[in-house]
Amino acid sequence: MPLIAPSLLACNFLRLEEECKMVNESSADRFHLDVMDGRFVPNISFGIPLIEHIKSVAQKPCEVHLMIEEPEKLTEAFKKAGADILIVHIETCRNLHRNIQQIKSLGMKAGVAINPHTPARALSEIMEDIDEVCVMSVNPGFGGQKFIDHTYKKIRELKKMIHERALHIQIEIDGGVTLDNAAGIVHAGADVLVAGNTVFKASDPKNIIDQLKNI
């Protein structure tokens, strides 16, 4: 059974509290919060004040996906805002190992995200140190994009690497997850499914979360 992480990027921000309550009451496992800086990705989303508000009502762990340059400068601020899991992009970290240690020393779980063009093997020397790999199955920056099919191969490669080293890293898939492709993604080896539009644009989001969970 996969873990489900609804991405609030697709929620109705005018009804943020109700959207958070829906996630609390659903079978989802964690909140997925997408932070964008308009530099690493061509879009700006939300930041620390909003995460603080979400954290104040969230009854499940908050995972913060940082699509920002120099994430190390804000690690502590995101911890204070309420991040339980902090995900940084390999493409933005010149000292990734140091960043991971920094995240863990503050008591958060550490995730590393990789863009569609970044091969699974780029994680080879850091795998022992992280809790989660976030495989981008779209180019980061926007919700509602189409799933990129070569992601299946990358998931299988990562699963093999993790298995061979007997590690306990979760593989999370982020972008374009739907009821149609979720089974194939889980079959390839994914442990966590992020879903934005598929959940929040549905008339019965809790039911969609149940369906993803029981895929």
Contact 113, 143 (CB under 8 A): no
Q: How far is the CB of 71 from ligand DX5 (least distance, A)?
A: 14
Q: Is 174 a catalytic residue?
A: yes
**Candidate segments 20-28, 99-107, 143-151, 163-171, binder of ligand DX5 by CB under 6 A:** 143-151
Q: How far is the CB of 186 from ligand DX5 (least distance, A)?
A: 15
Written as one string, the DSSP assignment of 160-179 is HHHHHTT--PEEEEES---T
Contact 135, 173 (CB under 8 A): yes
CA distance 178 to 196: 9
Q: How far is the CB of 113 from Zn ion (least distance, A)?
A: 8
CA distance 103 to 127: 15
Catalytic pick from 34, 37, 131, 191? 34
154 binds, among Zn ion, ligand DX5, none (CB under 5 to 8 A by kind): none
Contact 189, 1 (CB under 8 A): no
Q: Scanning the structure block, which residue is given the tokens 């308009």? A: 38
Beta carbon nearer to Zn ion, 196 or 205: 196
Q: Does 175 bind ligand DX5 (CB under 6 A)?
A: yes
Burial of 28 by CB count in 10 Å (0-12 exposed, 13-18 middle, 19+ buried)? buried
Per-residue interface string for the shown chain with Zn ion, residues 163-202, x marking contact by CB under 5 A: -----------x----------------------------
143 binds, among Zn ion, ligand DX5, none (CB under 5 to 8 A by kind): ligand DX5
**Candidate segments 11-19, 56-64, 119-127, 138-146, binder of ligand DX5 by CB under 6 A:** 138-146
Q: Is 129 a catalytic residue?
A: no
> Which helix (H) or strand (E) element contains residue 14?
none
Report, as residue numbers or ranges, the catalytic residues: 34, 174
